[in-house]
Homo-oligomer: A and B are copies of this chain.
Amino acid sequence: MLERQIIKLREEGYRITPQRRAILEFLSGNTSHPSANDIFAGVWKNDPSISLATVYNTLEILAKKGMLLELPIAKNTLNYDPDTSPHDHAYCTGCGTIIDIFPEKTASPQAGVEIRGFQVQSSRKVFYGKCDKCLEEDR
């Protein structure tokens, strides 16, 4: 899984640096939808010499190559999702947590949408609301 990613990156002509490896490792299987800063912090714990610029650089490459989704969900920041399979997201407006919602649960139709004058490449659906924990705290 992680190895596949590394091989693909190399095949695309990118060099495999320790930093890129560490970022891919951090993302692998990560379902927390981290921001660039979260990823920076996570990698930083093992290697305090890494820079934010490198993280952004790597994330941009991964996104461009379709190995990572950029999620514009929260107000002023991007979140990233290493799971590129079709699925939706639920965003808690209380705590900002983003959880994965898989198709069978929401019956979100992905197939054959046609919009006149527009060529659809992908689609995203986001549910806004509150998680149980935040509902609890509202009382």
Contact = CB atoms under 8 A, between A and B. Distances in A.
B105 A118 contact: no
A123 B115 contact: no
Q: What copy number does this chain have within its complex?
A: 2
A113 B132 contact: no
A74 B72 contact: yes
A57 interface: no
Q: How large is the interface on A (under 10, 10 to 19, 20 to 34, 35 or more residues)?
A: 35 or more
A84 interface: no
A115 to B, nearest CB: 6
Contacts of A132: 117-119
The A interface is mostly helix, strand or loop, or mixed, namely strand
B118 A123 contact: no
A54 interface: no
Interface string A66-101: 000010111110100000000000101100000101
18 contacts: A72-B74, A76-B76, A76-B78, A90-B118, A90-B120, A101-B115, A106-B115, A107-B109, A113-B127, A118-B130, A119-B130, A119-B131, A119-B135, A120-B128, A123-B127, A124-B126, A124-B128, A125-B126
